[in-house]
A = this chain, B = another copy of it.
C-alpha cells in the first residue's frame, strides 16, 4: 500500500516548505511520488473555486480523490493544504484510506507567529480587509482531533520538523512498500521472463 502525507495548518505555518523538504528526501530514497501542490491544484483543476467553507471542502475532497487515484497505482503523494475544517480532514482520510495509508500532519503554529513570518504578506492584507475568508483572521481554523503527527513549527527548525515526519513514516514502515524509480528501466516484454527467471535463480525473488 502506498501513502499520502497530508500537511495541514494555518497560512504561513510552514506546510509547503516542510512538504518540499520531505519530498526531496523521499525522492532521493527512490520513492515514486507526486507533490500535489495546493496552488497547482487550484490553478489546473478549479481556478474559479473560492474560499468559503463549502469551497474549501470541495478543494480538499477533489485533492483526496486525485491522491487516491495515484496511491492505488503505487504513487505516493504529498499534499500541503490549510484544511481548516474537521469534517474535511476526516473526509480526506476516508477517501485515501480506501486504498492507502493516510498520514495527517498538523503543522502547528500560532496565528501570531505565522502572521509575523507571513512571507506573502497575506495576514497584513487580510487584517486590512483586502482578503475575505482568511483562515485565522476572518475564517475559522479547527485544530485536528486526531492528527497522526503534530509538528511544533513554532519553535523547531525546519530540519527538526522534517526529521520528525520522516521518523514517523519510517516507524509506520510504509515507505519501503513503494517501488523505487530505479526499477522503471526501459525493458521489452521479450526480456521480462528472462530477467525474472534470472533474478529467481539468484535468489532475489522469493
Which residues of A are interface residues toward B (Cβ below 8 A)? 29-30, 32, 34, 36, 44-46, 62, 65-66, 69-70, 72-75, 176-177, 179-180, 182-189, 191-192, 195-196, 198-199, 202, 204-205
Contact = CB atoms under 8 A, between A and B. Distances in A.
A180 to B, nearest CB: 6
Contacts of A34: 69, 72-73
Nearest to A67: B69
Contacts of A46: 62
Contacts of A184: 74, 179, 183
A15 to B, nearest CB: 20
Contacts of A44: 65
Contacts of A73: 32, 34, 70, 73, 75
Contact of A186 (B69, B177, B195): B177
A54 to B, nearest CB: 11
A194 to B, nearest CB: 8
A1 B199 CA distance: 26
A97 B195 CA distance: 32
Contact of A189 (B29, B45, B183, B195): B29
A179 B189 contact: no
B205 A185 contact: yes
Nearest to A68: B44
Given A32-B73, A62-B45, A69-B66, A176 B195 contact: no
Contacts of A189: 29-30, 176, 180
B180 A192 contact: yes
13 contacts: A29-B189, A30-B192, A32-B74, A44-B65, A70-B73, A70-B75, A75-B75, A176-B186, A176-B189, A179-B184, A180-B187, A180-B189, A183-B183
A196 B180 CA distance: 11
A183 B179 contact: yes
